[in-house]
């Protein structure tokens, strides 16, 4: 088994050979054919998260040991199954649900491993799709994807369910009411496609990159506002015809989250998704005079993945733009994402 692994945070990934995994119990080994490159991989590579107020969280404080292959948008072929693994056979092609928990708590038993307190995620705590193989502890983490394009289907296990889960948290929203999206990178474009699949047609995007604003417009956003504008809030209000009832922040630094909160109307909901990090000050009385909710959202559940696959298989989910690169270009892919040069999703191909 070959890994493009983070050996030292902030340094180029190294190609590391480790022993081929032999599945025990209910474990399943998947040979990776596709792996999406996500901003979380970039944070993992960097090794730190900004918690705001000067506090830094290190990945090594989250139970991570190095070297570790990142990559959590994984799809591939089953090549070995443990003696207790049922319902899956060698040769099956599957999407890996990467947000694996302890498997025993109430959250995990409800298929909400993403909310488990003992995370053992693929590409974080266990080796991910930047390696040639991924081991999952149980076949329940594997999902069939029929005849969908694997380079697109592989993005469902993070970007697909993350946007779907965030949109669900907006509650029952009239499809004719405006939705504000902050960030038009991989997740922002996936959100536009998902909102459209769910009938929404009044989408406003904010991004600091002109290319990404154009990509948002091409994907069907009604307006795309420059995040570097002196008065972004006024521009959003003008484009939306008033304050908005719903916003999702895929960047989520102190500035963007505060801006998105300022764009909300009474009763509005802001869902925070990105991990750019930081903090902002909040007028507590202001939250009563103009009542709004701020909701944190981390990836999605196994049911979210089933729902996303159903939408895609029904032909309702327009595929996001995907750029395929060979697995051996893993470093170049990360640097492209870091430089903000990726439109849509970069997907590494091959084992
Ligand atoms: Zn991700
Ligand atoms: Zn659990």
Q: Give residue-wise pLDDT tens across range 322-343.
A: 999 999 999 999 999 999 888 8
Residue 63: which pLDDT band, with cuts at 50, 70 and 90? confident
Q: Output the average pLDDT for the chain.
A: 96
pLDDT tens-place string over residues 131-176: 999 999 999 999 999 999 999 999 999 999 999 999 999 999 999 9
Ligand nearest to C-alpha 158: 1
* DSSP H or E segment with residue 161: helix 159-168
Q: Rounded to whole angstroms, how far apart are CA atoms 275 and 179?
A: 20
Cα of 173 from ligand 2 centre, angstroms: 31
Q: 60 pLDDT exceeds 90? A: no
Contact by Cβ (8 Å): 84, 22:
no
Residue 117: which pLDDT band, with cuts at 50, 70 and 90? very high
First-to-last C-alpha distance (Å) of the chain: 9
Cα of 296 from ligand 2 centre, angstroms: 19
The whole-number pLDDT of residue 290 equals: 98
- Tell me the helix, strand and coil percentages in the chain, rounded to 5: 30, 25, 40
pLDDT tens-place string over residues 305-320: 999 999 999 999 999 8
Contact by Cβ (8 Å): 227, 182:
yes
Cα of 273 from ligand 2 centre, angstroms: 21
Cα of 245 from ligand 2 centre, angstroms: 33
Q: In whole angstroms, what separates CA 37 from the centre of its chain?
A: 10
Residues near ion ligand 1 (Cβ under 5 Å): 38, 40, 158
Q: Rounded to whole angstroms, how far apart are CA atoms 194 and 304?
A: 12
The whole-number pLDDT of residue 342 equals: 86
Q: If 0-12 CB within 10 Å is exposed, 13-18 middle and 19+ buried, where does residue 284 land?
A: exposed
pLDDT tens-place string over residues 18-37: 999 999 999 999 999 999 99
The whole-number pLDDT of residue 78 equals: 98
Q: What is the mean pLDDT of residues 192-220?
A: 96
Cα of 73 from ligand 1 centre, angstroms: 7
Q: Rounded to whole angstroms, how far apart are CA atoms 5 and 119?
A: 20
Cα of 213 from ligand 2 centre, angstroms: 39
Closest CA to 26 of 79, 76, 72, 88: 88
What is each CA distance from 201 to 123, 160, 167, in whole angstroms? 35, 19, 14
Cα of 86 from ligand 1 centre, angstroms: 28
């Amino acid at each position: 088994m070959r890994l493009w692994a983070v050996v030292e945070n902030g340094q180029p990934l190294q190609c590391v050979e480790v022993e081929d995994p032999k599945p025990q119990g209910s474990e399943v080994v998947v040979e990776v054919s596709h792996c999406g490159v996500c901003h979380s991989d970039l944070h993992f590579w960097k090794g730190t998260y900004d918690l705001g107020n000067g506090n830094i969280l290190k990945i090594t404080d989250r139970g991570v040991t190095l070297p570790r292959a990142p990559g959590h948008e994984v799809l591939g072929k089953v090549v070995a199954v443990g003696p207790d693994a049922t319902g899956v056979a060698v040769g099956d092609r599957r999407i890996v649900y990467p947000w694996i928990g302890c498997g025993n708590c109430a959250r995990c038993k409800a298929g909400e491993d993403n909310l488990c307190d003992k995370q053992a995620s693929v590409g974080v705590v266990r080796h991910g799709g930047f390696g040639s193989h991924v081991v999952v502890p149980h076949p329940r983490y594997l999902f069939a994807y029929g005849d969908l394009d694997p380079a697109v289907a592989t993005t469902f296990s993070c970007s697909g369910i993350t946007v779907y889960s965030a949109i669900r948290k907006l509650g029952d929203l009239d499809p004719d009411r405006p939705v504000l999206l902050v960030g038009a990178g991989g997740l922002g474009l996936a959100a536009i496609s998902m909102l459209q699949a769910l009938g929404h047609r009044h989408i406003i995007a904010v991004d600091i990159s002109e290319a990404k604003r154009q990509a948002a417009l091409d994907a069907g956003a009604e307006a795309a506002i420059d995040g570097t504008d002196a008065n972004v809030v006024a521009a959003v209000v003008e484009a939306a015809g008033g304050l908005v009832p719903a916003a999702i922040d895929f960047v989520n630094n102190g500035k963007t989250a505060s801006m998105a909160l300022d764009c909300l109307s009474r009763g509005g909901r802001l869902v925070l998704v990105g991990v750019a990090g930081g903090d902002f000050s909040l007028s507590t009385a202001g939250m009563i005079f103009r009542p709004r909710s701020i909701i944190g959202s981390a990836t999605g559940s196994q049911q979210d993945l089933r729902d996303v696959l159903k939408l895609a298989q029904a032909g309702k989910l327009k595929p996001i733009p995907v750029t395929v690169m060979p697995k051996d270009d893993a470093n170049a892919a990360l640097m492209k994402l870091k430089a903000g040069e990726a439109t849509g999703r970069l997907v590494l191909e091959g084992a």
